[in-house]
Structure formats: structure tokens, C-alpha cells
Amino acid sequence: MSDTARTVAGRAFTVADTHPGRRISPRGSAFDYAFQALCFAAATALLASLGGVLISLAIGGWPVLSKFGFGFLTGKTWDPVRDIYGAAGPIVDTIITSLLALMLSLPIAGGVAFFLTELCPSFLRRPIGTAVELLAGIPSIVYGMWGLFVFAPVFAAKIEIPLMGMAPPGSIWETLLSGIPNGSGILSASIILAIMILPFMAATLRELLNTVPPQVRESAYGLGATTAEVVMKVTLPYVRRGAVGAVMLGLGRALGETMAVTFIIGNSHDFPKGLFDSGATIASTIANEFNEASGLQASALIALGLVLFVLTFLVLALARLLLRNPEG
Amino acid sequence: MIKTIAAGLAAALAITSVASAAAISGAGATFPAPIYNKWAETYKAKTNNQLNYQAIGSGGGIKQIEANTVDFGASDKPLQPADLEKNGLVQFPTVIGGVVPVVNLPGYKPGQIRITGRVLADIYLGLIKKWNDPVLQSWNPGVRLPNLPITVVHRSDGSGTTFLFTSYLSMVDPKWQAGPGASDAVNWPVGQGGKGNDGVAAFVRQTVGSIGYVEYFYAKQSNLTYLTMQNRAGRWLEPTAPAFAAGAAGADWTKAPGFYLLLLNQPSPTAWPITGATFILMHTRQTNPQAGKEVLTFYDWAYKNGDAEASQLDYVPLPASVKALVRKLVWPKIDGPNGKPVYP
């Protein structure tokens, strides 16, 4: 064995020696260079288009940003008639609905993923897995229509009206549960968002849990750990980094989701007073008004797009930061 | 080899461009899109000439015709004469629509409750909060109104419907004019926004005590409970096709420079107060006179033969008097490069 290796090395050396200055390229190397060049081009094109988006958003939003400055982020008035634009309402609503959606869907997504990898009988694994992936393929307008015409009436009758009736007058609950009880509003939008980001997070988490080597998991079971203990103490810590990534992907999708939210959130630019009150996210405001906008209003909508871009970037940066200090 | 393919491709392109020369293109308002497409379908069956209409919204239609990327633009609101002048455009109306207030009050029949423009403005300003408000009740002597809070529903997307509605409220109520004002989208003091006619109707259906506003054809097709409105002449009217047509026929188009005319709050005793026409925008100087001629041929055909189809889709056709004025006053202004009218 070592003899063969030596011979091969010797032969290579001889060849290189007799033709100095000429490199030996393995067969198919031309394709390899092309492949590398293509990959490089793809990566740089992505970076360039991202930069292009950022620059064109900044240019398009400049008239409004220069006119209102920091007030664009803190102002509460959105008045297309008088050309006064403050985006505080949509920014706050975007963050509230996305976080609520994450809080609602993370436990379920985790449950689905753990069930599929740890508990599910193998004949059920494939159908449930496929169902989760199919959910991810439903267009968002369908979620919006379903939310408005099917979910909202039921939600109003079964959840909103009873809850509002139960809230003690004068308590914080009364404020929190205030709004128009017709199934639209902040909480409804968050629930629809949660359903929409669920399949992404569940599918990614499942893939992650599948990467845990069977030996690790089996050793834990072998030591007498229960399923819950294996999940909490062994597999989850093993995939922690990836799991944060999956959650951030879900959050990113929730931040930018447009159509479904537009249908159900109630589209009011004021700060919401309660969970059932109307709101408006950044994406829904753009979707609502961009078609007919011109002048400063169009600029304000583009500036909103820039804000969303930065917000998403901050979320990703935060995710990176969390991953960098595993002890923290 | 590659040369042959390229030559073949070029030849094919040349053929398609020749073949599509008869196709005319337009873009703009979503409200008249169903009728324009219906007319285009019938027109193609009759004449084999193709018309492509893209419903991208009135704002988009105005941008496209200003950039001269389409043969005609379409807008739910007329352009101001100064804007027409600046961009070398003319406009003419095609069909009439209007806005109808709708409510969700179980037990009340469509048209049973009466409302005036000022009360409507007060409701949308959040000043009148209950259905049994004394002012509202005083207009409805024979009807006992419920002790229910009013939930206001408006459009969330920028739309010609909102433009008509808010323009009307600005006309009848100085408080509204000084407050939210008139535009495609305004800063609503109260209420929640639904996307499109569907969205408004859905919120109204799901909320007892709500009030919203939708396009006439949508109100007619969706069986919502509409309100009876008082017009400028003081008469109480239900939203019907003749009431909308009266709004257009009663207006004095000859005195409107550039055909800039809102049909709101017309003095005719039979006119529905919130009426509006949808408009076509064209350049006065056509760079391609053939395309300009095709567009006018199409709309001339639609004026002559399209009324039945428009009525079927619950649009209100233009009165004959208005059509005659468009033929006389607007179309002769559309010239080819030689300075002669492209049509007829």
C-alpha cells in the first residue's frame, strides 16, 4: 500500500520535472474553472443586486427622509392629502405582529419537528412531512382570503366577543382586548402569520433534528433519559445554532409578509390600543398605497421599504450576535 | 449555423411585429377593466382587431400614458386641465359609476334608512358614534334606529372610489374639507380599512352596526343593505342606474375645460349625489396615428354598440348627449404628426 503511494508520488514528480513550467491539469479541469467562475458570478450578482436594492431604496426614499429626517421614524401621522408622513405606526405594528406570530408558531413548529423525528411511527412520518411542506407552498393571498372570509367570522364569534365580555371593566384586560370584534386586527393578523411561517420553521427544524447523529441520541436513551430529556438536553443543544437560524428565517418572512396581512389587519395607521384593534404593517401599507401613489407619497412608501430592509437586517445581525456568545 | 438561427429569429420577429400592428394597448384603472375587456372580446370577434388592457390602477395608467408606453391610459378621476396641458393629453369619459354607502343593520331593508351627505361626513369624522344619534334619527322619522355603536369601514388601498367618496364629503362638509380632505387615500380619523370592494364588504358583513362604501356595481351584485341618500335638490334617492345616469346627463360638460368634471352633487333632482365617470387619456399629438385611429375606432364602436354589455355588468352607460359632445369636442383634438385629426 505504501509502496504504491510512493510510486505514484515519484511518477508525478518525474513528470513535473521533465516539463518545467507546465502545470498538470487533471481531466475535466476546464469545466471546474467554469464551475468556479459561475459560482463566483452567482454570489457576486446576489451581493450586487442587494446593494442595488439598498441604493435605489435610499434614492427613492430620499425626498421624504430628507424632509422629515428622524421624524419619519417617530411621527404618528400618515396623511397623503397634506403630504405628512410618519411611519411609527406601521413600524411598531410590524414588530408586534411578527413577534406575536413567532411566539404562537414556535412551540407548534417545535412540536411538529420533535414529533416527526422522535415519536412518529415511521409509516406516518412521510405523509405528515409532506403535508408540512405542502402548507409552505400555499400562496399568501389564499391565506389572506381564508383569513378574511373563513377565519375572521369564527374568530370573532368564538374568541373575541366572549373574551371581551369576560374582561373586567376598568382592568388592563379591557384595554388589551379592546377593538372592533369582527375578527380583524392585530391578533388575527398575527395568527394568520403564525400559520404561514409554521411550515418553514417546522420543516427546517425537522431537517436540523435529522442531522443529530443517531449514536448521540441513542446513547442518551441508553443512559435512561426520557424523550423529553433527550429533546431538551441532547438534540436541541446539538442543533441550537441552526435552530436560531430557522427561527430568524421565520421572523424574516413574518416581517415582510404582505397580502395575507393586508386583508385581515384592518389597515389603520394609528397605534393599536389593544389586540383586537386595527393596525397596519410596513408591507401592508406599501401594498395598499403604492399602486396609486405619486410624488412624496411614493417616496414615503419607498422609504418604508428601506426601513423594512434595515429592520430585517437588524434581525439577522441580532441572530448572528446570539450565535456568537453561546454562553451568554 | 448561429447566423442562420439569428437570421431566422430576426425574420420571425419582423413577422410578429407586422402581425401585431393592429393590436392596441391601454393601461390604468381597475374599475372599468371588466367592461373594457368584455368590449375588447366582442370587438375582436367582429373586426379581428385586438385591444389589450392592463388593469394596473389609475395612477399607473397616468404614468404609462405620460411615458407614452401605451396607446391610451385610463383613470377613475379626471386630470386637471393644467396637467392635461402640460403633458399634451386629452381625456374623455367612457362609463359611469358611483359610490353607495352600505350598512350592516339586521332587520332593516335596503334603502329604508336615510342619510344626508353631512351626516355621512360626521359619521366618518367620528362625531356621530351611534345609530340612534338624534341628528340621524331626525332624518328618519318613520324608522326607529337601534342603540348600536357605528363601526366605520373604509378602503385601505388607494382607489378612485375613495377619491369620489372623499371629494363628495369635502363638497358638502367644510369640516371634512379642513380635516381629512379629498384624495385616493386619506388620513382617516376613525374606522378600519378593507382592501378593495371585497375587503370593505367583508368587514361590513361581519360587523353589526358597521357602515362602509363600495362601487355601485359591487353593491348591486353583493346584496348589501344600501342607504337612501339626499341629493343636492333635496330629494331622497335610492342608488339605481337611472339615478347615476342623471348625474352625468345633468352636468354641463361644455363648460368644463378639458372635460375636467366631477359628477358629484349635481343639481338635477334625479341625480345620485356620489356619481363619477371613468376616463380615457390620450396624447393630442399621436406619434403613431394608426394606433390613435384604432383606439378611437374602438371607443366609437363601444359608444354605439357597448351599452347593453355595460348594463349587463352593472355599469351605467354614458347618456347619448355626452357621447355626442365627446365626438364633437374631444376626438377632433387628437392629431397625427401632419396636424390632421386621426379619426375618422
Start and end residues for every CATH 1.10.3720.10 domain found in chain A = 69-322
Question: Closest Cα of chain A to B339: distance in Å?
Answer: 32
Q: Cβ distance A219 to A142 under 8 Å?
A: no
Flag whether the pTM goes above 0.80: yes
Q: Cβ distance B334 to B292 under 8 Å?
A: yes
Whether A184 and B203 lie within 8 Å, measured CB to CB: yes
Residue linked to cell 359610490:
B99
Residues of B in contact with A280 (CB under 8 A): 156, 193
Which residues of A fall below an 8 Å CB-CB distance to B?
A: 77-82, 84, 148-149, 152-153, 156, 180-185, 262-263, 266-269, 278, 280, 284, 287-289, 291-294, 297
User: C-alpha grid cell for residue B14?
Assistant: 419582423
Whether A78 and B187 lie within 8 Å, measured CB to CB: yes
Tens of pLDDT along chain B (344 residues) come to: 455 555 555 444 444 444 444 688 999 888 898 899 999 999 999 888 899 999 888 888 888 899 889 999 999 888 889 989 898 999 999 999 889 999 999 999 999 999 999 999 999 999 999 999 999 999 999 899 999 999 999 999 888 899 999 999 999 999 999 999 998 889 999 999 998 888 899 999 989 999 999 998 888 888 899 999 999 999 999 999 889 988 888 788 888 888 888 889 988 899 999 999 999 999 998 888 888 888 999 999 999 999 999 998 888 898 888 899 898 888 988 888 877 888 77
Q: Cβ distance B227 to B139 under 8 Å?
A: no
How confident is the model at residue A20, as a pLDDT? 56
How confident is the model at residue A7, as a pLDDT? 47
DSSP conformation class of B20: G
Q: Is the dihedral of CA B186, B234, B245, B142 positive or negative?
A: positive
How confident is the model at residue A166, as a pLDDT? 85
Whether A292 and B186 lie within 8 Å, measured CB to CB: no
Query: What letter represents residue A282's amino acid?
Result: I
Whether B187 and A79 lie within 8 Å, measured CB to CB: yes
DSSP run (H or E) holding B308: helix B307-312
Q: Which tens digits make up the pLDDT trace of A142-163?
A: 999 999 999 999 999 898 888 8
How confident is the model at residue A21, as a pLDDT? 59
Question: Closest Cα of chain A to B184: distance in Å?
Answer: 7
Tell me the CATH class for A69-322: mainly alpha
Query: Which residues of chain A fall below pLDDT 70?
Result: 1-23, 325-328
Whether B195 and A263 lie within 8 Å, measured CB to CB: yes
Domains identified in chain B and CATH numbers: 23-95+275-333 (3.40.190.10), 99-250 (3.40.190.10)
DSSP conformation class of A266: B
Residues of B in contact with A278 (CB under 8 A): 192-193
